[in-house]
Structure 1
Amino acid sequence: MSSDPVIRPRIRVGTSGWRYPSWRGDFYPEGLVQRAELEYIGARMSTVELNGSFYSLQRPASYLRWRESVPDDFIFAVKGSRYITHMLGLRDARTALANFFASGLLALGPTLGPILWQLPERHEFESEVLDEFLGLLPRSTGAALELARAHDERMHGRTWLETDADRPLRHAIEPRSHSFDDPRLRTLLRRHGVALTVADTAGRWPRFEPNDADLVYVRLHGSAELYASGYSPGELRTWADRCLAWSSADGIRRDVHVYFDNDAKGHAPHDALALARLVGDAPSAS
């Protein structure tokens, strides 16, 4: 009698972004052209966090180029638009979300991973506002396509409105206000199936523990100096142990995504590779 194969949780480790001048001649070899940097990342890591999408809407051609630069089993996490999180404050966000998903995310196809919504420190917990916003988030690429079709006229001529398959779509939220230390938060996240980000920020912002979503999303901004300090071998071992425990805690299958954002002095890619080795995250050969 045959049984279904066991699907094991996957721990993926990468960096937040990949275009940093200080990495050139250090992590990136001397003479490596800028357009080849993502391909270099893709050969050594299993994931990367796209952060250009936070600052402005990208174009479909960019998403297509990024997808073509990495192996088929690579995953892009995509940082949600700061227009939605920082300017709208999550309020009345339907059209802005439609524009965001119409801008080309779906062109990533099977390499499209979780969407990160990073909130500013000034954004305090408001249960009703957060509940309404989380209810707008599409839970599949098919639902994202339907939402994207509601884009406004500013997007005409620069949209991607197709998907090759209807896949699950996951979201994570990264609060930076202590007001989110509220039991209602986890109730809301459970209702909407959204992950609570674990952020290490050298004590600048609160660090929350994961909730019970099937995704643990971790951002490591530096343990001693925000965005700048590297992680010691002991600190990396501690984070590896946490990731391994989270991936199978309480009998729940959880994928764990870890992104190093301590890029100011070039530590991020080296720390990412070191942690990846500790948790057994080895990308397939391209």
Structure 2
Amino acid sequence: MSDLFAATASPRIRVGIGGWTFAPWRNNFYPAKLQQRRELEYASRQLTAIEINGTYYGAQKPATYAKWRAETPDGFVFSLKAPRYTTDRKILADAGKTIDDFVFGGLAELGDRLGPILWQLPPYKAFERSDLAAFLDQLPRDLDGYPLHHVLEVRHASFMCAEYLELVRKYRVPTVFTESPKYPSFADVTGDFVYARLMRSEGAIETGYPMNELDAWAQRARAWSAGADPSDLPRVQSGAGNDGKNMKPRDVYIYFISSAKERNPAAAMALIERIAS
């Protein structure tokens, strides 16, 4: 049985942006006079993944998920931010019903376009081992017989500890590497795939990031995919990386998010080109 999250049996590096509807992109990404209803169709053929932020504000109807699937090509995937009503709470252990309502409320319509589900915790939520463990226990492991992939984004400094890493590694849930000065930023690998959100694009640079930084991200993506850990990113556990010799290859998801949003499609396409070369 094939993995719901992989178009092929081998690991993939997928690169994309947050959403596909943004007015400035009609001046520097989408072709002139492209109908707005065809923007997803176009974007999904320039990029290899898109992270959906709209689901953070509320789940979509099954028909909407089915439409997204129909408009995108084979091999393309969506990452979905789970609704805020599941994670924006003091007691995560109480989220069970809202988790099921979201996951079993139509996501199956995405079929093989369904990528990781991103559970983003609020900045005020500190690490509490028992509460987080209860939350992770409630995450569904499969959907219609296919395995689900979950990823956790933490935004409180208390998560930067060995106890947190030990817990999420037990559940094999990756932690987002968040390239942001506002939130904890650490690249300790905690799951079977890697998920990075890059948030430092610059409006004055046509590709969002300088060429040398895009080259560096291409090298990191290849290292992650090969099973290694890049040595130049911050970690909670220093020296805890590996050289890939005893690690299985991994899927990698890299998204250019926020900051100079108008430059993010160019940044993603430039990174895709470097990874492919």
RMSD: 2.0
Which residue of structure 1 aligns with residue 231 of structure 2?
A: none
**Contact persistence 2:201–2:259 (CA under 8 A):** no
Corresponding position of 1:246: 224
For the structure 1 residues 265 and 116, does the alpha-carbon distance in structure 2 shift closer, same or farther, using more than 3 Å as the test?
A: closer
Question: Counterpart in 2 of 1:162?
Answer: none
Give the alignment partner of residue 215 of structure 1, picking from 152, 171, 193: 193
Check the 8 A contact 2:151/2:174 in 1, yes or no: yes
User: Structure 2 CA distance, aligned partners of 1:234 and 1:192?
Assistant: 36
Aligned residues of 2:51 and 2:255 also touching (Cα < 8 A) = yes
Q: Alpha-carbon deviation of 1:259?
A: 0.8
Give yes or no for the alignment of 1:204 onto 2:182.
Answer: yes
Partner Cα distance (2:21, 2:202) in 1: 23
Equivalence map 1:19-30=2 (5 Å): 19-30=21-32
Could you list the runs of 5+ residues in structure 2 that have no partner in the other structure?
Answer: 1-7, 229-243
Residue 269 in 1 paired to residue 265 in 2? yes
Gaps of 5+ in 1: 1-5, 143-165, 282-286
Show the 5 A alignment for 1:1-286. Answer: 7-87=9-89, 89-142=91-144, 166-201=145-180, 203-222=181-200, 230-248=208-226, 249=228, 250=244, 251-262=247-258, 264-280=260-276
Query: After superposition, what is the alpha-carbon deviation per residue over 1:98-137, rounded to whole angstroms, capped at 9, x for unaligned?
Result: 1111332111011111111111211111111110001111
The one-letter amino acid paired with 1:271 is A
**Conservation of the 8 A alpha-carbon contact between 2:51 and 2:79:** yes
With structure 1 as the length reference, what TM-score do the two structures score?
Answer: 0.82
Distance 1:264 1:59, change over 3 A: farther
Give, in angstroms, the shift of residue 262 of structure 1: 3.1
CA distance in 2, matches of 1:89, 1:69: 38
8 Å contact 2:201–2:260 — kept in the other structure? no
Matches of 1:73 and 1:122 in 2, distance apart? 37
Normalised by the size of structure 2, how large is the TM-score?
Answer: 0.85
Paired residue type of 1:216: V
Task: Tell me the SS of whatever aligns to 2:135.
Answer: helix
In the alignment, is the contact (CA less than 8 A) between 1:9 and 1:247 conserved in 2? yes
> Residue 265 of structure 1: CA displacement?
4.1
Distance in 1 (CA, whole Å) between partners of 2:123 and 2:188 is 19
User: What's the CA shift for 1:14?
Assistant: 0.6
Residue 24 of structure 2 aligns to a residue whose secondary structure is: helix
Q: Deviations over 1:153-200 (max 9, x none)?
A: xxxxxxxxxxxxx22211111111111011111111111111011111
Give, as a single letter, the amino acid of the residue that structure 2 aligns with 1:217: Y
Supply the distance in 2 between the matched residues of 1:189 and 1:76 (Cα, whole angstroms).
23
The answer on whether the counterparts of 1:200 and 1:223 sit within 8 Å (CA) in structure 2 is: no
Q: Which amino acid aligns with 2:172?
A: G
**Aligned residues of 1:197 and 1:210 also touching (Cα < 8 A):** no
Q: Identity of paired residues, percent?
A: 41
Q: How many residues in Structure 1 have an aligned counterpart in Structure 2?
A: 249
In structure 1, what is the Cα distance between the partners aligned to 2:201 and 2:41? 29
Answer yes or no: is the 8 Å Cα contact 2:202–2:263 preserved in 1: no
Note the C-alpha offset of 1:44: 1.2
| Secondary structure at the counterpart of residue 146 of structure 2 | coil
Displacement of 1:257 after TM fit? 0.4
